[in-house]
Structure 1
Amino acid sequence: MTQPTSLPPIFDTEVTRQFGTRLPIVAGGLQWLSRAEYVAAAGRAGIISFITAASFPEFNDLRAEIEKCRDLCEGAPFGVNVSMIPKLVPGEKTEEVFRLIVDSGVKFVETSGRSPEAFMPMLKDAGITVLHKVPSLRFAQKAQSVGVDMVSIVGAECGGHPGMDMIGSMVNAGLAEDRLNIPWLVGGGIGRGAQLVAALAMGASGVVVGTRFLVAEEIQAHPDFKQALIDASELDTDLCMTSVRNTVRSLRNETTQMVAKLERDNPEIGIKELITHVSGAIGRNAYATGDVSKGILSAGHALGFVDRVEPLAEIVGRMEQDAVAAMGRLGLAA
């Protein structure tokens, strides 16, 4: 079912035009998991993904991963995700990361976490297309005002950080067309091609997919981790860390239930009391060992679509088939 990237796009949107992809699908950056093999597989499958810069604290490692990805992409597009923490902390190296990206000749960047306004002149001078990811339309409007090229709005259904407003993807999509003047994508709970067609009909230029792709063969995670996702359903996620205004949706496990209880029992609890349970190192261990009982393992309602491990191109191919079938149901030619 793998589709050659030389085939023309079946949808013509700002996403396919600006990124040079066959399909208007963005595989959002996944902390620790969006590495060269996976990102390049996305490009070859006709979509685009982003290496997560935060997965490579050492600049030389990030630079090497970019070069490795460029080689594996065989000319297909790829980008780098820069997740900026909401508040500046001493020693933050965001500016240096962006300079490395510019110097490496990367042409596409996905930003999130806080406004990229301070870095826009540098990125635009380098001819870089900036896709900014937000958890709410009000932040999308702010991003539009500082000059990003497009925004992705992830709804309450998404894995990872859905923000504090908790507005669903359908509502976000229904409102975005009236409130935004730049191209926008919708994410959160996306796992079928029919949802892509629905998003395009509502005015989106594409969709963002995360959870659905976690079982791709090219994701470097333990088979038991992927099997746990296959065994789960859309009912098997929890929301945690709302008390510290950093809501996370993740796979339900011992950690999420413990943290939820701590937050219920003490609404004033702080991050210092939670960090021993929610540290990223614990979650990363699950990817290596397959033990999903502990750690915050980002996953959203799209778990309902996860059914088997297969090459990313096969997952994308099935989504494309489903999109074409949806167009047929509407009496439209793809």
Structure 2
Amino acid sequence: MNSRKNRITELLGIDYPIVQGGMRWVARAELAAAVGNAGGLGFISAHTHATADALAQEIDKVRTLTDKPFGVNLTVLGSNAGLDYEGYVRTIVERGVSVVETAGSNPAKYIAMFKASGVKVVHKCVTVRHALKAESLGADAVSIDGFECAGHPGEDDIPGLILIPAAADKLKIPLLASGGFADGRGLMAALALGADGINMGTRFMLTQESHVHAAIKQRLLEATERDTLLVGRTLGDSSRVIKNSVSLAAVELERAGGITHADLYALTGADRWMDAFASGDTEGGAFPAGMVTGLIHDLPTCAELIARIMRQAADIAQRGFPFEFPAA
């Protein structure tokens, strides 16, 4: 494979415009290093780790596995108020991490801190208005999630086919397309829509280097594009998760009305689905998964996956467009 540079590969120092999402619990050293060694950019998740010292150890572990660039995801949420975000930021800077993916709450404070230390910032968002705000705050790039994505798609329900070109039309900084990408067809579609690359979560979760239990992986391989649903809609905190007994019970609870975040968290909280990822209990929690599960049918290594995506994309490019264009 011959790599060529574009805005996102130049910015991130990578060979191919393929980025692994900073998924909580899933985004660990082995996965991030494997993606980096294959020419993409891998992320580890800061708030997977209870302390800044634990994050520092994970950063050090990545460096024993690769000499390629990698990043840290810093997702700032009110529900994680007890976490040492200042310590995470200090650790990221002191350990010389080159890229951070911010997500969740307003990133202004953290973008300023990272930029002052020369760390590149990719902000993850779900609307054009938030992407433009991140750009105004100094983000180097944005990753924009369509309605198809795993986890939190926001409340506007705009699919990637619309959201990506809408963002590309207004942004000046590089753009990563996220939500619904799994192969070379998706990469070429994202580039055609105006993105500079793709960010994949669910697809990288279903690889050999992912720590997710084999039983959970198998459940997702068997899923179709119809096997996810949204929980938290009635609370304005939507999350796309796999359809199972737990998530269906959560939807029924919401339909009954009068619930609080605490009521829903008892079913859908991260503690439950992270335990399920580790134990392999496919009915143990409402674990995040994107609609793209319907396009995923195997468990390659990250190297095999990235090579395949680039070959597929190259084949599409070489086939060209089968129609004759009208004269200008």
Q: Does the pair score TM above 0.5?
A: yes
Alpha-carbon RMSD? 1.6
Of residues 5, 9, 16, the one that matches 2:3 is 9
Alignment of 1:1-334 (within 5 A): 9-10=3-4, 12-73=5-66, 75-86=67-78, 89=81, 91-266=82-257, 268-330=258-320
Deviates more, 1:216-225 or 1:34-43: 216-225
Q: Distance in 1 between matches of 2:311 and 2:112?
A: 40
Deviations 1:125-160 (A, max 9, x none): 211110000011111111111110000110000011
Deviation at 1:201, TM superposition (A): 2.1
CA contact (8 A) 1:158 1:189 kept: yes
Deviation at 1:47, TM superposition (A): 0.4
TM-score, structure 2 as length reference:
0.94
| Secondary structure at 2:110 match in 1 | helix
Q: Distance in 2 between matches of 1:297 and 1:208?
A: 19
Q: Letter of the 1:52 partner, please give it.
A: S
Q: Distance in 2 between matches of 1:122 and 1:292?
A: 40
CA contact (8 A) 1:172 1:186 kept: no
Deviations 1:259-303 (A, max 9, x none): 10111110x411111111112111112112211113121111110
CA contact (8 A) 2:47 2:83 kept: no
Q: How many residues align?
A: 322
| Secondary structure at 1:37 match in 2 | helix
Deviation at 1:88, TM superposition (A): 8.4
| Secondary structure at 1:213 match in 2 | helix
CA contact (8 A) 1:9 1:16 kept: no
CA contact (8 A) 1:9 1:21 kept: no
Q: Letter of the 1:9 partner, please give it.
A: S
Deviations 1:163-210 (A, max 9, x none): 111100010122122211111111111112122112112221111111
CA contact (8 A) 2:52 2:84 kept: no
Q: Distance in 2 between matches of 1:316 and 1:144?
A: 29
TM-score, structure 1 as length reference:
0.93
Deviation at 1:95, TM superposition (A): 2.1
Deviates more, 1:98-107 or 1:285-294: 285-294
Deviation at 1:70, TM superposition (A): 1.3
Q: Distance in 1 between matches of 2:193 and 2:279?
A: 41
Deviation at 1:312, TM superposition (A): 1.3
Q: Letter of the 1:29 partner, please give it.
A: G
CA contact (8 A) 2:51 2:84 kept: no
Deviation at 1:8, TM superposition (A): 5.0
Unaligned stretches of 5+ residues in structure 2: 323-328
Q: Identity of paired residues, percent?
A: 37
